[in-house]
Structure 1
Amino acid sequence: MILNNISKFVNQLIHRNRISFKIIVLYGVIALSLMAPMASSTIIPSINDTPSHISYIVQARDAINEGQFPLRIAPLEDNGWRYPGFQFYSQLPYFIGGWFYKLLTPNNPYDAYKLVIIISLTMGGLYVYFLSLKLTRSRIASILSGVAYMSAPYFLNNIHARGAFTETVAQGILPIVIYYALECYLTRKKRYFVLSALSWFCLSITHIITFIYGTIFIFFLLVIVITQTRKTKFSFPSLVSLLKAYILGWLLGLYFLAPIILVSPYLSIRKQIKAINPFGTNTYTPIANLFSPVSLPAEPSENGLAATYGLHPAIGWIFLIAFGIVIYYRYFTPFNPPKLKLIRPYIDGLLCVFLLALFLTWSPINIWNILPRQLWVTQFTFRFITHIMWAGALLTAYAIVLIFRERLDRRHLIIGILLIILFGRSWIPAPRGTLTVNKLVEEPLFKYSGSLDYLYRAPVKTIYGKNELPLLHPEWIPGYSTWNTFVNHPLILDAELRYPIWDEKENPIIFLEAEISPINIEQPIILEAYIDGRKISSVFLNSPKLNWQIPLPKISPSSKDFGLKFVLNDVAENKQLPNIRVNRFFLEGMSPEKTIIPVSETQQYCKQEGINTVCELVVGEEAQIAQLPVLYYPNMFKLWVDNKPFKESFPVHYRDYSLVGLKLKTGSHIIKTTFNGLVWANWISGLTWLILAIYIITPLYKDLKKESLKSRNNSYSKKLGKD
C-alpha cells in the first residue's frame, strides 16, 4: 500500500511538473554547451585553481571512504597531517563531487567536477526561471531570464577563468535561496519554511562569502519591498517566518559556521583578509570593462592577456539593456501593465540591488575603511557581480514583458536564446592546459591554492629540544609568491625572528642543515648569525651542503625572548646571491622535559584507522614530549592516551606548522586522536537536524496512518457488503 501511494505521488509529481522537466532538459543542454572549454576528459585547464578543486574532490572521496560525515579533513594534504580544509573552506560541493567520483565516475575526478558545475548552472537557471515566473507570469520571458543568468559573463569567468568551483556552485544555489525566502515570506507555508532553511544551510556550507553578502542583499531587497508595502500587504508574522527560516539555516550549519567565526581569526587566511582592502582590487573592474560588450582584460599587457587568463569581469549587455529598459518604463513613460503593478515594489528593490552591487564592484571611492572590517572577507570587488547577475536576470524577464507586452511566442524564445548565448560567448575562453587527469590523480594536492590558508599558526611560546624552529614571521600571509617559501623552507634572510628564552640550566645549540646553490668556491659568501643585534657565529658558504652548529650565548635572565637574524656578508654589488634551502633547523641541549620526540620519528609509528589517527609510542627518559603527525587546532580534536581522555595538549612547531604536542610519562603509550570540530556546535546542529526531521516526518506519518486506516475501513466495508 505504501509503495502504491509513493508510485502514485511520483506520477502526479511528474505530470504536474512536466513543463519544468522540459525546461530542466533545455537548461541542461545549454549548461553542457557552456562547458565547451572543458570538453576534454583527459587534459585539465591548468592556468587557474581548477586542479586544486579537482584534488579536493579526490581527497573528498578519500574522506568519505574513511567514514567522515560531515567532511572535515583533507586526508592527504600537508604531509597527511589531517588538514581541515573542508571544515573551514567548503563542504557541500566537495561532498557531492566526492560521491560522484566514488559512484558515477570512479576513474575520473575531472568528470565528477564538471558534473557538479553542470548541475549548478542548470539549477541556477531553473530557479531564476521560477522567480521570474512568479514576478511576471510570463513563461517565455522567465525561460529567457534563466538562460541570461546561466550565460552571464561572471558566471563563465568563475568556471573557465578563475576556476572558482565553490563560488560557481554558490551561484547556482543563490537563486534557490531567494526563491524559497520569497515563498516563505509570501505564503508562510510549512514546506517553504523548511526549504528556505535548507537552502540557507546549503549556501552557508558552500561559499561563506556568497552566504554573507547574499544575506545582506536579499534582506536589502526585502527591506525595500516591506517599506513600500507596509500599509497594504506587510505582515509581521510573514517576516518572523522568514527570519525563523534563516535562523534555522544557521543552526543547521552551526557545526561549520561556528569554527569559521571563532577559530578562523587565528588562521592564515584571516591575516590575508585583514591586509587586503577590497578597494585595492577594483583595478580588475574599471567601469569601461564592466560595460564592455566583449571579453577584454582590464589592463593592457605585452601579450594582450590578463594576469589570470580569461579573467575579464563584466556585467553583460543583456543585463545592462534590461536595467535601462526597466528604468525607462518605470520613470519616463506612462505605460504600466495592470498585472505588473503588484510587483512594482520588487522591481524597485531589484533596481536598488543592481545599483548598490554595481557601486561596490566599481568602487569609485574608498568606502571600505569606514565599513566593518569583517566585510573585507569579499577580498575582490568583482565578487559583487554575482548580485548584479540575479537582480539583472529578474529585471531581464520584466524588461522582455515590457517590450513585447502579451505578444511573446516560441519565435521570441528561440531568437532570444540565440541572442543571449551570442552575447555571452565572448567570455568562453579557448582552453589552455597541459596537466593530465592521470598526473593529477598521482598527486592530488592543493599546492599553492588552499594548502596553507587554513593553518592555525600558533605563536611560539616555548622552544624545545629537537624542535624544527619556525622560519617565517607570525604575520606571514600565504600567497602565490610565498607558497614555495613556506613549503621548501629557504632561510629568511635579513629579517629578525623572535623566539622565547630558554631556562638558565639549558645550553641550547642551533643546528642548521641546508643546501646551497650556486656556490662560488673562489669568493665564498659569509653567512652570519646575530642575536639581538650581536654577531654570535659565521660560516663560509663554500660547499653545496651546509652543516652549521651555533651555540647560543647566555642572555639576560630578565629577557623574555631573543631575536635571531641571519645576514649574508661580503656580498659584492650585482653578485648573484645563493639560494639557501633549509632541510633542518632545530635545537639541541634542552632538558628532557623540554625535549620532543619529533614528528619525523613518531609518524612511522602512527596509522590511520577510519577517522582516527592511532599512534603506538615509547617515551624514554631523554625526551618526554611526543610531537604527533596531526595539525593543532585548539578545542577541535579529541585525544585518548591509553584509552583515557587526554586534554593537556599544546602546539609544538615543525618549521611553520603547528602540530599536536603531548607531555607523557616514560613508557609505552597508545594514543588516538580525532578531529571533530567544536563539540558544542556539533551538538546544536545535530539536535536541530533531529527536531527538523521530527517536524517533517510527523505530519507525513499521520497522513500515511490516516490513509492506511481509510484503506482498511474501505476493505472492511466491501467485505461486509459481500457478506
Structure 2
Amino acid sequence: MKIISKLFNVTVKRQMLLLIYFSVLSISLLSPIASNQYIPNSPDYAFHLVLISQAKEALANGQSFPLRIAPDLYQGFGYPIYQFYSPLVYNVVGALHKLVIPSNPWIAFKLSLWFGLVFAGVFVYRLVHRFVHSASASLLSATLYLMSPLLLVNMGARGDLSESIAICILPCVLYFSVQYHHKPSLNLFILTSLAWFSLATTHLITFIFSSLFIGVFLITLNIQMQLPLRRLAELGLAYAFAWLLALWYLAPVILLPPYLYTHYILNNPYTAGWLSPLSTLLTPSAASPMPLPGNGKLYFPFYVGLGWPMLLGIGYAIYKKILDNQVKVPVFVTPLLFLIFIAFFAAWSPINFWLFLPESFGVLQFGFRLIIQMMWMGAILFAWGINDLFQHQLDARHVAIGILLIAIANSSWIMTNQESRITLENLIERPQLSEWGTRSYVINPSTVLYDKNTTLNLLPVKETVHFCHREKAIIVCQIAISKKTTDVQLPVLYYPNMLNIKVNGKTSAYQPFPYHNETKNYFIINPMLVTLKLAPGNYEITSRFVGFALANEISLFAWSIFVLLLPLSVFNFIKRS
C-alpha cells in the first residue's frame, strides 16, 4: 500500500507535469523537420535513414540484437556497419520502425529524437537539482540544455541522429555517476553501468570525451571534498563493468581501425576549425561563419555556438570566483570552469596544438563536438548562477520569464534547411550511403597481406555470386569445382578473425583477396573479399559475421551477471520503498 500511495504524492505529480512540459517543448524543437515526406538537404539525414531502413530489413530477415549486417548495402556482400557504428541506436530505432511505424523510417527517426529530448530534459533537471537544490533553477537549466544551439542544429539542420541521441543520454550518465559516487549501492551500480554502456554503443566519440571530462570532474570533486579513494574505485568498477557489457562492440572498434578506411579519413580537428571560429562560438544568434548560400562547402545551415544564456551563466560563475570574495563558491564551480576553458579552447583551436597530442585524439574530427561537454557543465553553472543571483528566491514568475528569454535568445538556431534532392522512396528502394559511410568500415587492401598469385586460379566473385544467397544473417553458397584446386572468391567482405566460415559443415580458414570492381560506383574500390582454396568437388559454404569471439563471450558473461543482479536490485528497491 505504501508503494501505491507514493504514486499519487506531490513529488510524482510534479514529475508528471515535468514530463508534460518536456514533451510539449520537445515537439516544438522538432518543427524544422515536421514534414513526414520531405527530408532536409544534409548527407547525415540520408545516412541515418538508410541505416534505420536497413536495420528494419535485418530484423525482418532474422537478425537479432546485436545487429551487425546491413543486408542490402555494399552489393549484399555483408557490410557489418552496425558492428562498428552506433549499434544501440539502430537496434532500437530499427525495431521502432519495424514494429510501430513500418511504412516510414523518417517518422521513426523523429520519434526517437522526441523520446531522447524528453529523456534528456528529465535527467538534466535531476542532475542540476542534485547540485543546486532548486526546482526552478533546474527547470530553467533543463530548458537551456534542450535549446542548446548544437543540439538544435544537429537535429534540424545537420541530421546527426546518433550524436543527438548521445547528447540526450549524457545527462543520465552523469546523474547516475554522481549519485553512485556520492552514495554507492547495487541499484546505482547497475544503473551507472547501463548508462555508460548506452552512451558507448550510441556514439563512441561522445563516450570517449565524456569519459575524460566526467572522469576529471569527479576525481577533482573527490579530492576537494576529501572523500575516500574507495568512492572513485567503486565508480571505476561500474565504468569497467560497462566496458565489459559493450566489449562485443568496443573490442573491434579499438583493435581494427588501423585496417579500415576510416583510419585514413580522420582529420586533425584543427583543419575543421573554420566551423567553430571564436566569433561563431560567442555570437548572440545563429550566423554563418562563411558567405551564403554555400556556407563554405556544406551547403546547409550548420552554425554552432554556445548561446548567450549559457555564456552569461559561465560569466557569472567566473565573476563570483575571481572578483567577488564575499561569498565562497561551491566546490564544483572551480573544476567546471577549468574544464569549460579546456573544452572551449579546443573547440576554437586557434593554434594547431593537436599536433602535440596522441594521434588517437583525431577521432574527435571536429572541435565543435567538445561543445557537448560544455553543455552539461554550462547547464550546472547556469542553474547555480541564476539561483545565486536571485538569492535562492526563484519562483514561478521567474521561471516563466526565464523560459521566454531562453527561447528568444536561442530560437534563431531552430533553422529550416533546404529540401534534399533525395527522396524517401529513393532511400528505401535503392539504399546507398555516402562515400564516407560506404568505405569507412571496409578493410583497406593496403593494410593486409594477400597472395597476388591467387589470380592464376581464381574463380572470381562475379561468377560465384550467382550461386550464393542470404538466409537471415548467413550467406550460403552452393559451388561445384570441376577443375584443379581453385581459389574461390565469395561475395563476403573480409574481416580477420570476425567471420565464421564453414565448408560442408566444417569451420574453415579463409584468406583475403581484393575485388576488382567493374561498376561505375566509385565509392566501392577493390574491397577485400573472402577467398577459399578448394579442391575439385561440390561444396556448401556458409559465412556468418560474428565479431571477435572472445569479446562476445566476455560480454555475454557480463550480461549474465547483470541479469543475475537485476532481481536483487529490484528486491532492494521494493524493500526500501
- Which bracket does the TM-score occupy, shorter chain normalised? over 0.9
CA drift of 1:701 comes to 6.5
Contact kept? 2:41, 2:300, Cα under 8 Å: no
Gaps of 5+ in 2: 518-525
Is the aligned partner of 1:23 residue 2:8? no
- The answer on whether the counterparts of 2:41 and 2:417 sit within 8 Å (CA) in structure 1 is no
Is there any run of 5+ residues in structure 1 with no aligned partner, and where? 468-589, 708-723
> Residue 541 of structure 2 corresponds to which residue in structure 1?
671
User: How many angstroms does 1:681 deviate by?
Assistant: 0.1
C-alpha distance in structure 1 between counterparts of 2:485 and 2:47, whole Å: 39
Superposed displacement of residue 178, structure 1: 0.6
Structure-2 separation of matches of 1:178 and 1:701 = 25
Counterpart residue number, 2:409: 423
The counterpart of 2:218, out of the listed 222, 227, 231, is: 222
The residue that corresponds to 2:370 in the other structure is 384
CA deviations on 1:307-330 (whole Å, 9 max, x unpaired) are: 341111111111100011112223
Structure 2 residue identity aligned to 1:685: S
**Residue number among 696, 701, 707 corresponding to 2:566 in the alignment:** 696
How many Å apart are 1:301 and its aligned residue? 4.8
* Match 1:412 to one of 393, 398, 409: 398
Counterpart code for 2:298? A
Identity of aligned residues (%): 34
Deviation at 1:299, TM superposition (A): 2.5
**What SS does the aligned partner of 1:44 have?**
coil
| Displacement after TM superposition at 1:99 (Å) | 1.1
**Alignment partner of 2:128: what SS?**
helix
Question: 2:43·2:434 contact (CA, 8 Å) conserved in 1?
Answer: no
From 378, 381, 384, give the equivalent of 1:398: 384
Aligned counterparts, 1:121-200, within 5 A: 121-200=117-196
Deviations 1:557-604 (A, max 9, x none): xxxxxxxxxxxxxxxxxxxxxxxxxxxxxxxxx3xxxx2221112112
- Matched to 1:86, the amino acid is Y
| Kept in 2: contact 1:158–1:164 (CA 8 A) | yes
Q: 2: distance between equivalents of 1:20 and 1:235?
A: 34
Match of 1:439 in 2: 426
Q: Is the 8 A contact 2:293 2:299 kept in 1?
A: no
The answer to whether the 8 Å contact 2:186/2:569 transfers is no
For residue 515 of structure 2, the aligned residue among 613, 630, 653 is 653
What one-letter code is carried by the residue in structure 2 that aligns with 1:629?
A: P
How far is the alpha carbon of 1:351 from its aligned partner?
A: 1.3
Q: Which amino acid aligns with 2:131?
A: L
The match for 1:253 among 237, 240, 246 is: 246
Are the aligned partners of 1:299 and 1:306 in contact in 2 as well (CA < 8 Å)? no
Query: Residue 446 of structure 1 aligns to a residue in which SS?
Result: coil
Task: Give the deviation of 1:183 after TM superposition.
Answer: 0.5
Q: 1:182 to 1:295 in 2, by over 3 A?
A: same
> Is this contact kept in 2: 1:48–1:161, CA < 8 A?
no
Question: 1:299 pairs with 270, 290, 295, which one?
Answer: 290
Q: Secondary structure at the match of 2:435?
A: coil
Matched residue pairs, number? 563
**Partners in 2 of 1:702 and 1:203 — Cα distance?**
26
8 Å CA contact 1:180–1:196 kept in 2: the answer is: yes
- Aligned residue for 2:334, secondary structure, equals helix
Alpha-carbon offset, residue 302 of structure 1? 6.5
Question: What is the alpha-carbon distance in structure 2 between the residues aligned to residue 680 and residue 431 of structure 1?
Answer: 45
1:20 partner amino acid = Q
Q: Residues of 1 paired with 2:5 and 2:52: CA distance? A: 35
Deviation of 1:449 after TM superposition, in Å, equals: 4.2
Is the alpha carbon distance of 1:199 and 1:308 closer, same or farther for their aligned partners in structure 2, counting shifts above 3 Å? farther
Task: Note if 1:58 corresponds to 2:47.
Answer: no
Q: What secondary structure, in the 3-state scheme, does the structure 1 residue paired with 2:475 have?
A: strand
Matched-pair contact (CA < 8 Å) for 1:59–1:74: yes
Which residue number in structure 1 is paired with residue 450 of structure 2?
461
> For residues 313 and 625 of structure 1, what CA distance do their matches in structure 2 show?
53
Give 1:603's aligned residue: 465
**Partner residue, 1:46:** 41
In structure 1, C-alpha distance between the alignment counterparts of 2:529 and 2:199, rounded to whole Å: 32
Q: CA deviation at 1:440?
A: 2.2
Q: Higher strand fraction: Structure 1 or Structure 2?
A: 1
Summarize the alignment of residues 263-282 of structure 1 with structure 2, pairs less than 5 Å apart.
263-273=256-266, 276-282=267-273
Over 3 Å counting, the alpha-carbon distance change for 1:313 and 1:125 in structure 2 is same
* Aligned partners of 1:361 and 1:384 also within 8 Å: yes
Shift of 1:348: 1.4
Determine the structure 2 residue equivalent to 1:587.
none
Which of 280, 285, 300 does residue 276 from structure 2 map onto? 285
Q: Deviations over 1:625-678 (max 9, x none)?
A: 211111000000101111111124433433411111011111110011110100
1:115 maps to which residue? 111
Higher relative contact order (CA 8 A, sep 6+): 2
Residue 37 of structure 2 aligns to which amino acid in structure 1?
A: T
Maintained 8 Å contact 2:46/2:433: yes
- Which amino acid counterpart does residue 427 of structure 2 have in structure 1? L
1:617 matches 2:457: no
**1:452 and 2:314 aligned:** no
Provide the alpha-carbon RMSD of the alignment: 2.1
Tell me the residue number matched to 1:556. none
SS in structure 2 opposite 1:158? helix
Quickly say closer, same or farther: Cα 1:78–1:171, change in 2 above 3 A.
Answer: same
Q: CA–CA distance in 2 between the matches of 1:319 and 1:170?
A: 20
1:406, distance to aligned residue in structure 2 (A): 2.8
Letter in 2 for 1:678: F
> SS where residue 674 of structure 1 aligns?
strand
State the partner residue of 2:350: 364
The superposition leaves residues 369-416 of structure 1 with CA deviations (integer Å, 9 ceiling, x where unpaired) of: 111111111011111111111111111111110111232111111111
Aligned-pair CA distance for 1:261: 0.8
Is the contact between residue 203 and residue 211 of structure 1 (CA under 8 Å) also seen in structure 2? yes
Deviations 1:235-294 (A, max 9, x none): 222111100010000010000000011112210001122xx2211211211111110011
Aligned mates of 1:57, 1:144 — CA distance in 2: 34
Q: Which amino acid aligns with 1:322?
A: G
Deviation at 1:208, TM superposition (A): 0.7
Q: 1:309 to 1:671 in 2, by over 3 A?
A: same
1:323 partnered with 2:303: no
Change (3 A) 1:432 1:642: same
SS in 2 for 1:627: strand
Distance in 2 (alpha carbons) for counterparts of 1:144 and 1:205 = 30
Is contact 1:642–1:670 with CA below 8 Å preserved after alignment? yes
- In 2, distance between residues paired with 1:20 and 1:308? 42
Supply the distance in 2 between the matched residues of 1:301 and 1:39 (Cα, whole angstroms): 24
C-alpha contact (below 8 Å) 2:485/2:534 kept by paired residues: no
Distance in 1 (alpha carbons) for counterparts of 2:330 and 2:106: 45
Q: Distance in 2 between matches of 1:410 and 1:464?
A: 78
Contact 1:224 1:348 in 2 (8 A): no
1:456–1:347: structure 2 CA closer, same or farther, 3 Å change rule? same
- Over residues 151-175 of structure 1, what are the superposed CA-to-partner deviations in whole Å (9 max), with x where a residue is unaligned? 1011112112222111111101111
Tell me what 1:573 maps to.
none
Distance apart, 1:458 and its partner CA: 2.9
Counterpart-to-counterpart distance in 1, 2:300 and 2:8: 43
